[in-house]
Amino acid sequence: MIFKAKLKRVLFPVFLLLTLFLYLQGEKVNGVTYKGQTYDLYPVMLKKCPAVPSPYTTAEGKEFVIGITKNNDYVLLPVTVENGEPYVYTKSGKGKQLEVDGKDFPNLARTGLHSKLELDQAKTITGVSISQITYNGRPNRASGAGFMAEDEDIISVLKGDNRLVKKLGMTHPRVAKPLFHIWNAILEQFTAYKKGRPWCEVKTILYNGKKISIEVGRTKGWQESIFNDEIYGGCHIYIRRELEKDEKRFLERHYSRLNEKQMEELIKKLSFIHTGEMEPYYIQRYGFYEGHTDYRTDPVAISFIFGLRSIEEIEAAFKGKLYEVLTEHFTKGGWHPQPMRGPEVWFPTGKKKKFVFSANFHKVLEKEIVINRDIRLIISWCGCCSRRFYSAVV
């Protein structure tokens, strides 16, 4: 017994020293080494900007971004896109960030882009019918703002954004990654907040040489997914980047046809995103950016804001149609310009109408009325939104 007591007295200090050593080693690892310089990770505050690229990926695949707090301190945030603990309302896990719905979309899982044939043949997604997802996704159903506009459906939106991403030379996982980086940076701050740090103190993220402003707010409840999955939303995330002078001049030169209000709309849609945490998971898993709602994460805007594509590269992809690309809805016939107003025509009844030429729209019903032997009136109902369009054949 005496021997055991003496042994305990000897081993206990050794155990303490070993524990302290391991703890300090762990603290030393909790940093990033770049070109011989080691930087501590958040919540450690740095007075100078780390000489590290942002985003930065180590040889081991760990990902980091540089943030700036409201007090103008710099921080290095770990933001690796990976599967983690479930993200639930009271906890802060990463959830399934690498998952792709390969069962419904094998080509998406294999290449990062949808196959038109798979989308054409899709009857269900995650076991829920296309019609039910569309119904739930429109405004004032599963969500007040909706997941798509009233004249859009889930397949038309998936097809529309797949075309945009393909034209940009990107893939859906590549476009999703910056949003995951932002969300993972927010998760790091949630954890720090529980330990006494200020709420979401990082206000700016440096990304590919761009300064991106971030604001985060909690919702009063949570938003459930329109798919049969575990994804849900509980945050408002506001992402914006100010245009550089050269970028603004470029737009003014190439889009001088726009009036002042349209130019403001173009710049806002290109440089500002109001979204939530559901969207990066939606993009990664389904290639779904939401339709034209208040929460849309447009792939063109993501590419521009995060410096994935320059304004010149974006313009080269869409050739003078950037305003239309950012504003027009994805209806059943796919992305197309809004109908143009035709000339005023007097009918034999004495009523005057303006024709709307709707050749680009998907029509499900047409009725022909013979005005006289020279003029026929075609009345069409758009299959996307049931609106009535008039065309004249002279």
In a shared domain, residues 130 and 210: yes
Is 64 within a domain? yes
- For 151-182, the three-class secondary structure string (H helix, E strand, C coil) is CCCHHHHHHHHHHHHHHCCCCHHHHHHHHHHH
- Can you tell me which residue has the tokens 């003078």? 320
Asked if the model's pLDDT at residue 352 lies above 70, the reply is no
* Strand, coil or helix: 34: strand
Domain that holds residue 71: 2-78
Q: How far apart are alpha carbons 268 and 238 in whole angstroms?
A: 12
Is 101 within a domain? no
When divided into structural domains, the chain yields a total of: 3
In a shared domain, residues 326 and 354: no
- pLDDT, tens digit, for every residue of 137-158? 999 999 999 999 999 999 999 9
Is 93 within a domain? no
In a shared domain, residues 200 and 145: yes
In a shared domain, residues 268 and 363: no
**C-alpha closest to that of 333 among 200, 149, 156:** 156
- pLDDT, tens digit, for every residue of 30-86? 899 999 999 999 999 999 999 999 999 999 999 999 999 999 999 999 999 999 998
Q: Rounded to the nearest 5°, which phi and psi values hold at 237? A: -125, 125
* CB distance 282 to 231 below 8 Å: yes
Is 142 within a domain? yes
Q: How far apart are alpha carbons 173 and 186 in whole angstroms?
A: 19
- pLDDT, tens digit, for every residue of 260-276? 999 999 999 999 999 99
Q: Say what the pLDDT of residue 90 is.
A: 57
In a shared domain, residues 205 and 243: yes
In a shared domain, residues 131 and 266: yes
Is 276 within a domain? yes
* CB distance 240 to 257 below 8 Å: no
Q: How far is CA 296 from CA 15, 159, 162, 261, in A?
A: 55, 15, 14, 20
Question: Following DSSP, what letter does each residue of 83-116 receive, concatenated?
Answer: --S---TTS-----SS---TTT-HHHHHHSS--H
Q: Say what the pLDDT of residue 383 is.
A: 43
Q: Rounded to the nearest 5°, which phi and psi values hold at 105? A: -135, 75
Q: How far apart are alpha carbons 341 and 327 in whole angstroms?
A: 18
* CB distance 348 to 371 below 8 Å: yes
Is 122 within a domain? yes
Q: Say what the pLDDT of residue 222 is.
A: 85
In a shared domain, residues 345 and 280: no
Where does a domain end: 294, 312, 335?
335
Q: Say what the pLDDT of residue 343 is.
A: 37
Task: Select, from the ranges 125-134, 337-346, 354-363, the one with the highest average predicted confidence (pLDDT).
Answer: 125-134
68 - beta bridge partners? 74, 204
Q: Say what the pLDDT of residue 374 is.
A: 43
Q: Say what the pLDDT of residue 89 is.
A: 62
Question: Following DSSP, what letter does each residue of 335-357 receive, concatenated?
Answer: E-PPPEEEEEEE-TTS-EEEEEE
In a shared domain, residues 329 and 345: no
In a shared domain, residues 381 and 280: no
Is 377 within a domain? yes
In a shared domain, residues 123 and 210: yes
Is 315 within a domain? yes
Q: Say what the pLDDT of residue 86 is.
A: 87
In a shared domain, residues 165 and 22: no
* CB distance 129 to 137 below 8 Å: no
Across all residues in the chain, what is the average pLDDT?
83
Beta-strand relationship, 202-207 and 210-224: antiparallel
Q: How far is CA 222 from the centre of its chain?
A: 18
In a shared domain, residues 203 and 276: yes
